[in-house]
A and B are shown apart, each in its own frame.
Chain A
Amino acid sequence: MADAVSAADNGVNVAALIAAREALTDAPAAAQFKWRAACEWKNGTHSQSTVESYYGLGQEQRHKRTFAFDADHPAVFASEDKGATPVEYVLVGLASCLTAGIAAVAQHRNIQLRSVKATIEGDMDIQGILGVDEEVRNGFSGIKVTYTIDADAKREDIEALVAQSQKRSAVYDIVTNPTNVTVVVD
């Protein structure tokens, strides 16, 4: 445990991240990662996805165990609600990514976090996905994230953590900027 008087301990090994950053500056090939998931249809709108391996640092890597995710649609969509909706997984992805970033930045800036909670809400006009109105997009028309943070720092510094987290967040980038997506059939 860190010395409570002098150093913050949010459980993030920032030293390792900084060392990795330096090592990768000279070895950009090692920085090329591939993240993966496999998805299998079960029934109706229910599918199950698994995450177990990824590629990075020049070789195949495995998670400690296989993670499984059920996705489905709820009753109002005449479905069986066997899992969260795919769009809710995106909200989870964004909130998790930003929250992890807040912890990492706080660690780096020696700010002790006591509690970090976020609520996230995505607005969606389903006329888009239902094909009712062509001018309505399928995705979210807007996403709002609200953070409640109790930490050993001034409000300005806490706001800076949240701003910096967005600046370096993968999912924030994925959601706010275009990404090429290629879908092929075997």
Chain B
Amino acid sequence: MSWWLSRRAIDHVVLERGEIAHTWRTERWDSLRLLTPNWQSRLPGYQYSGDDPDGYRTLAEVIAFISGYAKVAAAPVRTHTTVTSVRGSDAGYLVHTDQGDWRCRAVVLASGACNIADVPAFAGCVPPAVMQITAQDYRNPDQLADGGVLVVGASSSGTQIAYEVHRSGRPVTLSVGEHIRAPRMYRGKDLEWWMDAAGVLDDRYDEIEDIARARRVPSLQLAGTPDRSTLDLNALTKIGVKLVGRVAGISAAGKAQFSGSLRNMCALSDLKMARLLDRIDDWARNAGLDDVVGPPYRLPPTRVEPAPPLDMNLASGEIKTIIWATGFRPDYSWLDVPVFDRKGRIRHDGGVVASPGMYLMGSQFMRRRKSALIDGAGDDARDLSGHLASYLDGRMAGENAAAKIESHWA
């Protein structure tokens, strides 16, 4: 966004509570790799220039990439500046920070969608002897006591953590709710290559039948595996991870109850994957690629044992740690402007927030399916900075600021 604002000659400042790439430095696990290949992080005026375009960046490489971009973009970043509140004022907004206040005509919320790890309320019933951490706190298996681990959540974070922890010699039980299975490679090409080429990542928010639902869909069960293997539930059960259903509750006595819906959760995931691969196959055929790439195929169904356990006594000592990989939500506690719906979510139209001169970046399927990916930031920033520029020009005012901006789709 800063790159585009500079290009449009819009005077701005970027406020960052820590160092550049703060959450990558402080809220991710050590062995993390991006699940998108290196070539697929294309920012305006900046992209991967190394010798492993199909590889997956390590955490250190992500931090270097983002820090490098800040320099290239000459972004006017004020680090170690924590915003304590944003509220409306005469000419726009008043931003309080711990380094002083700012008055501005427009505000871009780029604090991300993953500030707070979601943990279900019944986590309070977990016996005190069991250590609880979230995917946000998890760094490596050495943090954990020896013994059994219950990982809750089987999307991208949960499956990666489950794999690493189980391999460390701590038997993992994985609680599985809704998840989106995906092969790492398909017909000889990276799945993300297909999703990019076939236009899946460019699907528009205003062309989706139920965008509210699409925005709540959990992350693809994909990992940046250096050997490009698929880290799905079959890969986990193959190494001995035990699957149970979604945690439906934990009693006051510390008994966890698992839903009996595991089989259908896996069936739904297999069907969703097949629909994505159908879409890819259709596109490949129409693009004349059928002779160039391998033939279409489908992965075998997710294996579920006939009678998965429906409960687990968390007080027995079998489980020493619970890792909650149950998703994230943004923290807007500092945003003192009435832009929230009755469930506390930001009201916006493709990133144009329901308050004049306010914009959002980086939320799930905000404008396009790729909006939450590094690769999606550029197009969204181009569109929204254009709208912002028009707003500052006074061409739009008041309610019109939230109107659709057809002219800003490229």
Contacts from A to B (Cβ < 8 Å): 28, 141-142, 156, 159-160, 163-164, 166-167, 172, 175-178
Question: Across the interface, do B307 and A178 meet the contact criterion of CB distance under 8 Å?
Answer: no
Shortest CB-to-CB span from B351 to chain A, Å, is: 22
Q: Which of B198-252 contact A (CB under 8 A)?
A: 245, 248-249
User: A172–B342 Cα gap in the complex (Å)?
Assistant: 28
Least CB distance from B224 to A in Å reads: 29
Q: Give 5 new A-B contacts, CB below 8 A, not counting A163-B268, A167-B264.
A: A141-B307, A159-B271, A163-B267, A172-B261, A178-B248
* A-B pairs, 4 with minimum CB distance: A176-B260, A177-B248, A166-B264, A176-B261
Closest A residue, CB atoms, query B249: A178
**CB-defined interface of B334-367 with A at 8 Å, one 1/0 digit per residue?**
0000000010000000000000000000000000
Contact A142 B271 (CB under 8 A): no
A178 touching B257, Cβ below 8 Å: yes
Known: A176-B245, A177-B248. A166 touches B261 (CB 8 A): yes
- Asked whether A176 lies within 8 Å of B268 as measured between CB atoms, the reply is no
Q: Are A142 and B267 in contact (CB under 8 A)?
A: no
Known A-B contacts A141-B307, A172-B261, A175-B260; A163 and B248 likewise in contact (beta carbons under 8 Å): no
Evaluate contact between A163 and B264: CB separation under 8 angstroms: yes
Question: Closest CB of chain B to A185's CB: distance in Å?
Answer: 24
Interface assignment of B284: CB less than 8 Å from any CB of chain A: no
A167–B257 CA distance with the chains assembled, in angstroms? 19
Main secondary structure of the interface of B (DSSP, over half): mixed
Q: Which residues of B contact A166 (CB under 8 A)?
A: 261, 264
Q: Is the CB of A164 within 8 A of B259?
A: no
Interface string of B290-319 (1 = CB under 8 A from A): 000000000000000011000000000000
* 15 A–B contacts, CB within 8 A, in A order: A141-B307, A142-B307, A156-B274, A163-B267, A164-B268, A166-B264, A167-B264, A175-B260, A176-B248, A176-B261, A177-B248, A177-B249, A177-B257, A178-B249, A178-B257
Q: In whole angstroms, how far apart are the Cα atoms of A178 and B258 in the complex? A: 9
Q: How many residues of B contact A (CB 8 A)?
A: 16
Q: Which of B273-301 contact A (CB under 8 A)?
A: 274-275
B226 to chain A, nearest CB (A): 33
CB distance from B314 to the nearest CB of A (A): 15
Chain B: CB-nearest residue to A180:
B249
Residues on B with C-beta less than 8 A from A156 are: 271, 274
A98 smallest CB distance to B (angstroms): 10
The chain A residue with its CB closest to the CB of B212 is A25
- Bound together, the chains give a CA A166 to CA B245 distance in angstroms of 14
Chain B: CB-nearest residue to A140 = B260
Contacts of A167 in B (CB 8 A): 264, 268
Closest chain A residue to B271, Cβ basis: A160
Complex: A142 Cα to B260 Cα, angstroms: 9
Question: Which residues in window 65-79 of B have CB below 8 A to A?
Answer: none
Question: Which residues of B are found within 8 Å of A160, using beta-carbon distances?
Answer: 271, 275
Contact B261 A159 (CB under 8 A): no
CB distance from A126 to the nearest CB of B (A): 18
